[in-house]
Structure 1
Amino acid sequence: MAETAISRTAVSWTPRGAWAGIAQAGQIGAAGPAGVTATLLDGFGLATLIAAPGGTAALSGLVESRAGIALPATPKIASGASHDAIWSGPEQWLLRATARDGFAGLLEALSTQAAVSDQSDARAAVRLSGSCVRNVLAKGVMLDLHPSAFAVGDVALTSIAHVGVHLWRLADGPEGSVFEIMVARSMAGSFWSWFAASAAEFGCRVSTGRG
């Protein structure tokens, strides 16, 4: 039997951001001044930390010595110069680094005090601001996000259009409140479909940035 020669070509894999093929910089919906600004965040390091039983204090001390922030004991976000610690449940946190350089070494050090799982390529994140940001979020978030009820630094685990999200409020910007939302990368497309439709009436400027 004659053998058929099969040509094999080397496959080159190119890393893709979480929003690639889903969202891009530009304008959504109404023309003119944008009522909402969406900044697609990329390039950050992210890991889950789960403290060992009775080991929260030791883990928090280690995070503070290595990253300059203490782990919040309540649904809050603690931010430093290059890292954020985001509450995600009793004795559980997300640790986010602005850049991934050196992040693996930090996680290795923290693994002496916690169960650590690198999630850098598993989540998609977006920062939302603008005069109409609450109007958009009110279409899908079943939480009271008024400043009197949801303060700067507050964190919530909730859902938007049946998509589980991690949401928190950052320090106010020139146009008022600023929120960040993180979703599982596999659900980024579903979340963006909801967001783009919800923000269209107010006009939305989409840009890219670092986590």
Structure 2
Amino acid sequence: MADAVTTAWTPRGSWAGILASGAFGAAGQPGITIEARDGLGIASLIAGEGRDEVLTQALQRRTGLGLPVTPRIVSSTSHSLVWAGPDQWHLIATDRNGFDELLRDLAPLAAVSDQSDGRAALRLSGPKLRETLAKGCMLDLHPSVFPAGAAALTSIAYMGVHLWRITDDPESGDAVFEIMVARSMAGSFWSWLSASAAEFGCRVTATGRG
């Protein structure tokens, strides 16, 4: 009888084998900066009928955040809550330490689904970011209509994305966006994004953590 073979599985980040740190595209000062957001804890929350208030209270106790009731993101140093539809949100933790325990505590109050390994997120900034996103996104991302804290469920290049804007870069003053896609679409999304950003020059950090 052949000896049993034991396979050891090594966890891989959402962008492993897709992104590589470095620069590409037009020479000079990069117009786009892209950072992988690996290591995040991500879960979808769907509140049961009449349970919004009790869920809000639980989240405020554990994260200091309330539930946004419009397409927005609210954040602390360790967690974010992003509106994802009526009575639906994404809970995002900057790392996964204690995340399972938090989800277990929330499970009696909402339909909770851990999406940490099923989503891929990027942080995008730079003076040419809006021009890049405009190549595939139909939303108006001008600051007058999409300010810091705004969020949207939309499509880019026919791929479903969850998009939000966080606080502007304190050094450059550039707007900073984050985009989350299904992990199965990460390669296709990167193919579009890298081609769209190359015109303006791009700097990539492929090992960014939450």
TM-score, normalised on structure 2? 0.96
**Larger Cα-atom Rg:** 1
Q: 2:145 aligns with which of 141, 149, 152?
A: 149
In the alignment, structure 2 segments of 5+ residues that lack a partner are: none
How large is the RMSD of aligned CA atoms in angstroms?
A: 0.9
Matched to 2:116, the amino acid is S
Deviation at 1:7, TM superposition (A): 4.1
Partner of 2:208: 209
**Secondary structure of 1:134 counterpart:** helix
Q: Percent identity?
A: 59
Q: 1:122 aligns with which of 118, 122, 137?
A: 118
Deviation at 1:90, TM superposition (A): 0.4
Distance, in Å, in 2 between the alignment partners of 1:198 and 1:19 is: 18
**Secondary structure of 1:199 counterpart:** helix
Distance, in Å, in 2 between the alignment partners of 1:196 and 1:126 is: 12
Partner of 1:22: 18
Match runs of 1:35-46 below 5 Å: 35-46=31-42
Deviation at 1:210, TM superposition (A): 1.9
Number of residue pairs aligned between Structure 1 and Structure 2:
207
Deviation at 1:35, TM superposition (A): 0.6
Matched to 2:209, the amino acid is R
TM-score, normalised on structure 1? 0.96
Partner of 2:189: 191
Deviation at 1:81, TM superposition (A): 1.8
Deviation at 1:87, TM superposition (A): 0.3
User: Greater share of strand residues, 1 or 2?
Assistant: 1
Distance, in Å, in 2 between the alignment partners of 1:80 and 1:51 is: 21
Q: 1:59 aligns with which of 43, 55, 62?
A: 55
Distance, in Å, in 2 between the alignment partners of 1:164 and 1:26 is: 27
Q: Residue by residue, what CA displacement relative to the aligned partner does 1:131-185 show, whole Å, maximum 9, x if unpaired?
A: 1111101101101000001011000000011110000001111331100000000
Deviation at 1:9, TM superposition (A): 2.5
Distance, in Å, in 2 between the alignment partners of 1:63 and 1:55 is: 12
